Structure 1
Amino acid sequence: MKKNNLLLLMLTLVIVLAGCSVTTKEDAQQQNQQDPAAETPADNTAVDIELLGMSANESDLNIIRDQLSKNGFNVKLNLQPDYGSYKAQQDAGNFDIALSSWTTVTGNPDYAVRSLFKTGGDYSIMSDEEVDRLIDEAATQTPEEAVETYRQLEQRLVTDKAYIAPLYISLKSQAFNKEVLDPSSVRLSKSRSLPWEEVDFNDTSKRATEPLILSQANSELTSLDPIKGNDGSINIINTNMNVRLINLTDDDKITSEGSLSYNHAIGEGNYDYYFILRDDINFARINNKQAEDSGERVGADDVIFSMNRAKDKDSVPDHRTYTLHEHINTVEAVTDLSELENTKVSGSSESIKDALEKGLSTKISALVSDKNQANSSEGKYQVIKLTTTEPFPQVLNYLAHQSAGIVSKQQVEKINTYDINNFDINKDIPYGDQRSVTEGDGYNNTLYASGPYILSYKNDYEAVFYKNPGYMSGTEHEPRIEQINVRFIKDAESTLSALRSGEIHLYYGVPETRYDVVQSDSKLELTTIESNAVSYLLFNTKNRDVANSDDLRKAVLYSINQDEILAYYSNNKIKAYSTVSPIVKTGNELVADPAKVQEFLNAYKASK
Structure 2
Amino acid sequence: MRKKLLPFIATASLTLAACSVQTEGDANQPTDGTDVSSNVETTEKTTIEILGTSSNETDMNIVRDQLIKNGFNVELNTQPDYASFTAQKDAGNYDLAISSWTTVTGNPDYAVRSLFITDGDYSIMSDSDVDALINQAALETPEEYVNTYKELEDALVTENAYIIPLYTSLKAQAFNEEILNPDTIRLSKSRAFAWEPVSFLDESLNDTDTLLLTQANGNLTSLDPVKGNDGSINQLNTNMYVRLVNLTDDDQVVSDGSLSYSHAIAEGNSEYYFVLRDDINFAKVEEGQAVDTGEMVSGQDVIFSMNRAKDQNSVPDHRTYSLHEHIDTVELVTDLNELEDTQLSDGSGNILDALEENLSNPINEVVEGADQVDNSTGNYQVIKLTTTEPFPQVLNYLAHQSAGIVSQKQVESINTYDIASYDVNNDIAYGDQRAVTEGATYDNHLYASGPYIMIQKNDYEATFQKNPAYMPDTENTANIANVTVRFIADMDSALSSLRAGEVHLLYGLDETKYEIVEGEESLALQSIPSNAVTYMLVNTSGREVSESADLRKSILYSINQDEINAAYNGSKLKAYSTVSPLVDTGNELVADPAKVEEFYEAYLETAE
TM-score (norm 2): 0.92
Match of 2:204 in 1: 205
**Which secondary structure does the structure 1 equivalent of 2:268 belong to?**
helix
In structure 2, give the amino acid aligned to 1:106: T
Q: Distance in 2 between matches of 1:530 and 1:260?
A: 29
Alignment deviations for residues 296-347 of structure 1 (CA, whole Å, 9 cap, x no partner): 1100010000000000010011111101101000000111111111111112
Q: Is the 8 A contact 1:215 1:507 kept in 2?
A: yes
Whichever residue aligns with residue 480 of structure 1, its letter is N
Query: What's the CA shift for 1:491?
Result: 1.1
Question: Which whole-Å CA distance do the structure 2 matches of 1:438 and 1:88 have between them?
Answer: 24
Tell me the secondary structure at the aligned position of residue 68 of structure 1. helix
Alpha-carbon offset, residue 43 of structure 1: 9.7
CA-to-partner distance for each residue in 1:64-87, whole Å, 9 max, x for gaps? 122222222222222223323323
Whether 1:373 aligns to 2:372 is yes
Matched-pair contact (CA < 8 Å) for 1:181–1:201: yes
Larger Rg: 1
Aligned partner of residue 573 in structure 1, secondary structure:
coil
Tell me if structure 2 keeps the 8 A contact 1:82–1:218.
no
The letter for the 1-side match of 2:416 is T
**Aligned-residue CA RMSD in angstroms?**
1.3
Q: Which residue of 2 aligns with 1:161?
A: 160
Per-residue Cα deviation, 1:108-141 (whole angstroms, up to 9, x for no partner): 1111100000001100120000000111111111
Partner of 2:334: 335
Shift of 1:366: 1.1
Higher helix share: 1
> 2:42–2:597: 8 Å Cα contact kept in structure 1?
no
Q: Is the 8 A contact 1:270 1:392 kept in 2?
A: yes
Are residue 435 (structure 1) and residue 441 (structure 2) matched?
no
Which residue in 1 is equivalent to 2:564? 565
**CA–CA distance in structure 2, aligned partners of residues 80 and 447 of structure 1:** 34
Q: Give the equivalent residue in structure 2 for 1:262.
A: 261
285-294 or 479-488: bigger deviation: 285-294
Does the 8 Å contact 1:167/1:560 carry over to 2? yes
Q: Which residue of the partner structure matches residue 148 of structure 1?
A: 147
Q: Deviations over 1:50-106 (max 9, x none)?
A: 211122222212211222222222222222233233233323333211111111111
Give 3-state SS (helix, strand or coil) of 1:490's partner: coil
Residue equivalent to 1:284 = 283
Task: Tell me if the contact between 2:111 and 2:578 (Cα under 8 Å) persists in the aligned partners.
Answer: yes
1:251-270 deviations in Å (ceiling 9; x for gaps):
11110000000000011111
**8 A contact 2:245–2:255 mirrored in 1:** yes
Superposed CA deviations along residues 547-603 of structure 1, whole A, max 9, x for unmatched, are: 101121112111111111101111111000001100100110001112222232333
* Amino acid in the other structure paired with 1:276: V
Partner Cα distance (1:570, 1:557) in 2 = 23
> Which 10-residue stretch deviates more, 206-215 or 58-67?
58-67
CA contact (8 A) 2:47 2:74 kept: yes
1:136 aligned partner, one-letter code: N
Alignment match, 1:526: 525
Q: 2:449 maps to what in 1? A: 450
Q: Is the 8 A contact 1:513 1:569 kept in 2?
A: yes
1:248 aligned onto 2:247: yes
Q: 1:504-529: per-residue Cα shift (whole Å, max 9, x none)?
A: 10011111111111111111111111
Residue of structure 2 in register with 1:220 after alignment: 219
In the other structure, the counterpart of 2:83 is 84
Q: Given residue 77 of structure 1, which amino acid in structure 2 is its aligned partner?
A: L
Tell me the SS of whatever aligns to 1:212.
Answer: strand
| Structure 1 residue 44, shift from structure 2 partner | 4.8
3-state SS of the aligned residue for 1:269?
coil
Residue pairs, 1:142-541, within 5 angstroms:
142-541=141-540
Alignment partners' CA distance in 2, 1:370 and 1:221: 35
Which residue pairs with 1:595 in the alignment? 594
Q: Does the residue aligned with 1:198 lie in a helix, a strand or coil?
A: coil
Instruction: Provide the residue aligned with 1:9 in structure 2.
Output: none
Match of 1:23 in 2: none
Mapped partners of 2:113, 2:91: distance in 1: 23
* Partner SS, residue 353 of structure 2: helix
Partner of 1:117: 116
Counterpart CA distance in 2 for 1:93 and 1:470 is 48
* Equivalent position SS for 1:152: helix
Q: Is the 8 A contact 1:151 1:586 kept in 2?
A: yes
| Aligned counterparts of 2:55 and 2:190: Cα–Cα separation in 1 | 22
User: Which has the higher mean CA deviation after the structures are superposed, 81-90 or 165-174?
Assistant: 81-90
Determine if contact 1:214/1:505 at 8 Å carries over to the other structure.
yes
Contact 1:101 1:534 in 2 (8 A): yes
The one-letter amino acid of 2:443's match is N
Structure 1 window deviating more from structure 2 (50-59 vs 572-581): it is: 50-59
Structure 1 CA distance for aligned equivalents of residues 371 and 457 of structure 2: 33
For 1:204 and 1:478, the matched residues in 2 are separated by 14
Letter in 2 for 1:198: P
Q: Distance in 1 between matches of 2:241 and 2:494?
A: 27
Name the CA shift for 1:168/1:138 in 2 (closer, same or farther; >3 Å).
same
Output the CA distance in 1 between the equivalents of 2:117 and 2:524. Answer: 40
Q: What code does the residue aligned with 1:453 have?
A: Y
Deviates more, 1:163-172 or 1:283-292: 283-292
Q: Which of 362-371 and 70-79 deviates more?
A: 70-79
4+ residue stretches of structure 1 with deviation over 3 A? 42-46
Give the match for residue 31 of structure 2. none
Task: Report sequence identity in percent.
Answer: 65
Matched ranges for 1:575-590 at <5 A: 575-590=574-589
1:50 aligns with 2:42: no
State the alpha-carbon separation in 2 of the partners of residues 157 and 142 from structure 1: 21
Structure 1 position 403, deviation (Å): 0.5
- 3-state SS of paired residue (1:574): coil
1:182 and 1:199 in contact (8 A); partners too: yes
CA distance in 2, matches of 1:44, 1:343: 66
Structure 1 match to 2:68: 69
Contact 2:213–2:486 under 8 Å retained in 1: yes
> Partners of 1:409 and 1:83 in 2: how far apart?
34
Greater Cα offset, 403-412 or 283-292 = 283-292
> Does the 8 Å contact 1:52/1:77 carry over to 2?
yes
Q: Quick one: distance in 1 between partners of 2:273 and 2:155?
A: 37
Once residues 182 and 155 of structure 2 are traced to their aligned partners in structure 1, the CA distance between those partners, rounded to angstroms, is: 44
Q: What is the alpha-carbon distance in structure 2 between the residues aligned to residue 161 and residue 93 of structure 1?
A: 21
| 3-state SS in 2 of match to 1:227 | helix
Query: Does the 8 Å contact 1:147/1:585 carry over to 2?
Result: yes
| Structure 1: unaligned runs, 5 residues or longer | 1-41
Measure, in 2, the Cα distance between the counterparts of 1:284 and 1:272.
31
Displacement, 1:45? 4.3
Cα distance in 2 between the residues matched to 1:384 and 1:500: 47
Question: How many Å apart are 1:351 and its aligned residue?
Answer: 1.5
Range moving further from structure 2, 344-353 or 197-206? 344-353
State whether residues 55 and 82 of structure 1, in contact with CA within 8 Å, keep that contact through their aligned partners in structure 2.
yes
8 A contact 1:244–1:404 mirrored in 2: yes
Instruction: Give how far 1:371 is off.
Output: 1.4
Q: Please give the secondary structure, in 2, of the residue aligned with 1:114.
A: helix
Residue type at the aligned position of 2:260? S
How far, CA to CA, are the matches of 2:162 and 2:555 in structure 1? 11
